[in-house]
Amino acid sequence: MPSQVVYVKDKHTKLFIPGPTEVKKEIIEAMNEWMFGHRSSTMTDLFTTITEDTKKFLGTDHHVIILSASGTAFMESSVMDCVDKNVLCSTCGSFSNRMADIAERLGKNVDRLDYEWGTAVKPEDVREALEKKEYDAFTCVMNETSTGIRNPLEEIGEVMKDFPDTMFLVDAISALGGDYIDIDAHGIDVIYTSVQKAFAMPPGLAVCVVNEEAYQRSKNASSGSFYAGLAKNIDYYKKKGQTPSTPAISLMIAYRAQMKRMLEEGHKARSQRHLDMAEYTRGWAKKHFDMFPEEGYWSQTVSTIANTRDLKIEELRQEVNKKYDMLFSNGYGKQLKEKTFRIGHMGEHTLESVKALTDAIEDVAGM
Amino acid sequence: MPSQVVYVKDKHTKLFIPGPTEVKKEIIEAMNEWMFGHRSSTMTDLFTTITEDTKKFLGTDHHVIILSASGTAFMESSVMDCVDKNVLCSTCGSFSNRMADIAERLGKNVDRLDYEWGTAVKPEDVREALEKKEYDAFTCVMNETSTGIRNPLEEIGEVMKDFPDTMFLVDAISALGGDYIDIDAHGIDVIYTSVQKAFAMPPGLAVCVVNEEAYQRSKNASSGSFYAGLAKNIDYYKKKGQTPSTPAISLMIAYRAQMKRMLEEGHKARSQRHLDMAEYTRGWAKKHFDMFPEEGYWSQTVSTIANTRDLKIEELRQEVNKKYDMLFSNGYGKQLKEKTFRIGHMGEHTLESVKALTDAIEDVAGM
């Protein structure tokens, strides 16, 4: 296969939606590789490299699984593997609700600790609920993409330490990699993300960090998942450094290249860059509009802005896209669609690229 | 992103393993595209195109799901969605055993209709087993990759028609697309494959065909899967022409390009090409060695050859790889590893490429 000119669209729409986010050109092009056997030493080398690099980047001593699927697969398997009967699901928006829906679909007894959209889960409420009833697990979203809330995971984790039999299962899909968390320090048993968010990779892979307690729970469970199964995947990795099923080789090659970049930047520096973008966006929002979510719990990767100027968001969005080739999101779901809008400042975005977007919005809205 | 020269390895190992198989250069390079939103019209266009093209290629009126995962995910979800209590699993090798293992892991009551490795599932045995006990589903592998057996799915399907309450769940992972089957004609309720086999695409996607009965069973099940859930995915497609979770966009772009090629060739012509390759390989095997599996049930996509010359298979394999950049497989598992070897003639291989491999084997083995 001789090198040759490959067609790549010159012009493209820059993504400021809360994922998929922008993927760097060289990461997309890294996928220009022939296939190889998934039981070969080339695969072992690739898979152990991306797994160990991910542990290093996240600074965790726990198990890491990289699976060919969306993060949703881990929402499901973590419940299948860790919950026998009762699970408490905190819900504060669409994606935390999805966790509860999945647990119900799996036939588990689900209690919801429900919050109004735009508000955060409070540690004292979690404690109260866990004191009332025994649960196999408690689920919480780190970053509620639909509302732009960042839940106080660290404080909730301190509560969870008092309930060691209740697994703490965390959906960090739009946050991990762009919002620093010390995974091993806060009683988190399972935490997972999708790579098309703050990792800034092409979608199709999910990453799950599993501590020893959750691994043991999964291993000894009377029933559980196979494809996204926690112990199933961890055991195969331990034994062979590979995946139980054929993985998405091309995406893992892209992962390797992007994770090297992430390691160079570092977890904390990457988080700081995201905070800088978030603070700029919040300042801009407060000057021209208002922030939608409860103060003190603003997401570091996606800002949800209240449409206080009563702009026609869908029109604005399309006009900015047309004139500037930049795409931001309207609010999530019917209720928030026009009442809010969302700017995803994650992955490889910079203060400059976010400023270019807010300039574009100002121009089109005539602000 | 200006067009530019992209690095692609000139030399590569040609894969004659039973998947991942060779992917054409232009299909790999089709992935050189920027990301876009998974809720955009671009996504709807891509996803409905590949879904409808797949229905057209397979000649089915049933529902088609294309999921970002390995085919193993559908092994799991088809059991989750279609089996309440009892499932009968025919086992005749490693992958059909995996289906039974997954069902057990899910906590179902599993009976195994077990065959010696290298022999095929017999319709009359299926009838006898189904007459003895009521099952929610019966599972069968179309092509047992570990032994090179092609089960008589069409005849088994005729038996299944007499047991309408028992879902017929078929793993066609290394066969579909390279071995013609009239899906709608033989009582098959669910049949799935992975794209890195006879579809000749980069791994990371799985395809599942679901008839109306299985869809209804899934929809009305008291518990089931979400991520790979049959009704979950079908309903989302019906409503929005998209996927419930963010899909592997790059892989779907490659899928679109390759499925266009497959449509041009046609399902039956593609199957005939595979049969030609299989017949050539069988002839060669019988001349120099012997076929391993039961006669009359030889796979059309992977030939398992008995090592009657007592060659050192692993050494031969490595030498052929080193000298000719071609890779075939040794036997599957400890028992067959040296007693058999496997040639995958699937996807985009041709009579010429398979002949080149057998010539290479003859040369290296000094035959």
> Residue A11: its pLDDT value, please?
72
User: Is a pLDDT exceeding 90 seen at residue A6?
Assistant: no
Interval B60-70: pLDDT, tens: 999 999 999 99
- How far apart (Å, rounded) are the C-alpha atoms in residues B42 and B44? 6
Q: How confident is the model at residue B10 (pLDDT cuts 50, 70, 90)?
A: low
Q: Say which residue the tokens 């071995």 belong to.
A: B179
> What count of CB pairs under 8 Å joins A to B?
235
Q: Which residues are paired to B15 by β-bridges?
A: B327
Amino acid (one-letter) located at A4: Q
Q: Which of A15, A29, A236, A349 to mutate to test the interface with B (most CBs of B within 10 A)?
A: A29
CB atoms within 10 A of CB A308: 13
What gap in Å lies between CA A223 and CA B104, rounded to an integer? 8
Per-residue b or e along B273-298, where b marks 16 or more CB atoms closer than 10 Å to that residue's CB? bbbebbebbbebbeeebebbbbeebb
pLDDT exceeding 70 applies to what percent of chain B?
97
**Domains in chain B, CATH or no CATH each:** 25-263 (3.40.640.10), 267-365 (3.90.1150.10)
Residues whose CB is less than 8 angstroms from the CB of residue A111 and which lie 6 or more positions away in sequence, other chains included: A86, A87, A88, A89, A129, A133, A135
ipTM: 0.96
Choose from B42, B105, B328 for mutation: most chain A CBs within 10 A.
B105
> Which pLDDT tens digit goes with each residue over A54-68?
999 999 999 999 999
Residue partners of B99: CB distance under 8 A and separation at least 6: B75, B79, B89, B91, B139, B141, B169, B171
Taking an 8 Å cut-off on Cβ atoms, the answer to whether B12 and A32 are in contact is: no
Buried b (16+ CB within 10 A) or exposed e, A326-355: bbbbbbbeeebebebbbbbbbbbbeeeebe
The whole-angstrom separation of Cα A323 and Cα A303 is: 22
- Average pLDDT over chain B, rounded to whole? 96
Whether the per-residue pLDDT at B4 is higher than 60: the answer is no
Other Cβ atoms less than 10 A from the Cβ of A359: the count is 13
| Percentage of chain A lying above the pLDDT 70 cut | 97
Q: What is the pLDDT of residues A60-102, one digit of tens each?
A: 999 999 999 999 999 999 999 999 999 999 999 999 999 999 9
State the smallest CA–CA distance between residue B117 and chain A in angstroms: 21
Beta strands in B180-264 (DSSP E): 190-194, 206-210
Contacts of A140 (CB under 8 A, 6+ apart): A90, A96, A121, A126, A151, A153, A156, A168, A169, A170, A171
Residue B12 corresponds to which amino acid? H
pLDDT at A3 over 80: no
Residue B97 has a CB neighbour count (10 Å cut-off) of 19
Q: For position B11, what pLDDT does the model report? A: 72
How does residue A199 score in pLDDT terms, banded at 50, 70 and 90? very high
Q: Cβ–Cβ of A75/B35 closer than 8 Å?
A: no
How confident is the model over A8-60, as pLDDT tens digits? 455 789 999 999 999 999 999 999 999 999 999 999 999 999 999 999 999 99
Q: What pLDDT shows up at residue A10?
A: 59
pTM of the model: 0.96
Of A34, A107, A232, the CB nearest to B9: A34
Position A1 pLDDT exceeds 60: no
C-beta atoms of B36 and A20 within 8 A: yes
Q: Per the CB < 8 Å rule, is B226 touching A102?
A: yes
Q: What is the secondary structure of B252-287 as a DSSP string?
A: HHHHHHHHHHHHHH-HHHHHHHHHHHHHHHHHHHHH
Q: What is the pLDDT of residue A5?
A: 36
- Torsional sign, CA B52, B72, B273, B152: negative
Contact A5 B8 (CB under 8 A): no
Strands A86-91 and A137-141: parallel
pLDDT in tens, B132-171: 999 999 999 999 999 999 999 999 999 999 999 999 999 9
pLDDT band, very low/low/confident/very high, at B9 (cuts 50, 70, 90): low
Q: Which of B1, B106, B205 lies closest to A8 in CB terms? A: B1
What residues are paired with A14 via a beta bridge? A326
Residues sharing a CB contact under 8 Å with residue A138, sequence separation 6 or more, in sequence order: A87, A88, A89, A90, A126, A130, A160, A163, A166, A167, A168, A169
Residue B5 has pLDDT above 50, yes or no: no
Which chain B residues are closer than 8 Å to A247 by Cβ? Answer: 70, 203-204
- Encoding tokens for residue A319? 């006009």
Which residue of chain A has the CA closest to B74?
Answer: A227
pLDDT exceeds cutoff 60 at A4: no
Cα separation, B333 vs B172, in Å, equals 20
Rounded-to-integer distance, Cα B258 and Cα B26, Å:
9
Number of neighbours of residue A294 by Cβ within 10 angstroms: 16
Which is more confidently placed, A174 or A7?
A: A174
Place of tokens 């057209």: B56
Asked if A107's CB is within 8 angstroms of B223's CB, the reply is: yes
Phi, psi for B131 (deg, rounded to 5): -75, -25
pLDDT digit string (tens) for B218-268?
999 999 999 999 999 999 999 999 999 999 999 999 999 999 999 999 999
- pLDDT tens-digit readout, A327-338: 999 999 989 999
pLDDT at A285 exceeding the cut of 80 = yes
Average pLDDT over residues B307-335: 96
Q: Which of B9, B24, B31, B46 to mutate to test the interface with A (most CBs of A within 10 A)?
A: B31
